[in-house]
Amino acid sequence: MTDPSELPPVDWDDFSELHMKDDGGGVLSSFKAIRQGRFADLVRFVSSLPETERNRYIVEKSHGRTYSATELVMLSRRPDFPPA
């Protein structure tokens, strides 16, 4: 496992939105959000889904960075991932 001191910091409290992977994005993207909340909570939600369902979703952070299901699962395994 990677040394935690080598991992880039993550703002687990950053405002984020859960979207269907192929919802089209665009100007009205926020209206298409399924859920909104803390990044950590959305990472936890997607990571808890059965593997066959996870890939249907993405999470977009407030600064426009989009995370795939694979990235979200990897983030949920970080040693600094906050407890529920």
- In this model, does residue 73 exceed pLDDT 50? yes
pLDDT at 28: 45
Say which range, 7-16, 18-27, 60-69, has the weakest mean pLDDT: 18-27
CA–CA gap between residue 60 and residue 47 (Å, rounded): 15
The answer as to whether 30 is a domain residue is yes
Distance CA 50, CA 52 (A): 5
Number of domains in the chain: 1
pLDDT tens-place string over residues 15-32: 999 998 875 555 445 556
Is pLDDT at 1 greater than 80 in this prediction?
no
- Tell me the residue range of the domain where 67 lies: 11-76
Q: Answer whether residue 50 is part of any domain.
A: yes
Does any domain span residue 66?
Answer: yes
Whether residue 82 is contained in a domain is answered as: no
**Which residue type occupies 71?**
E
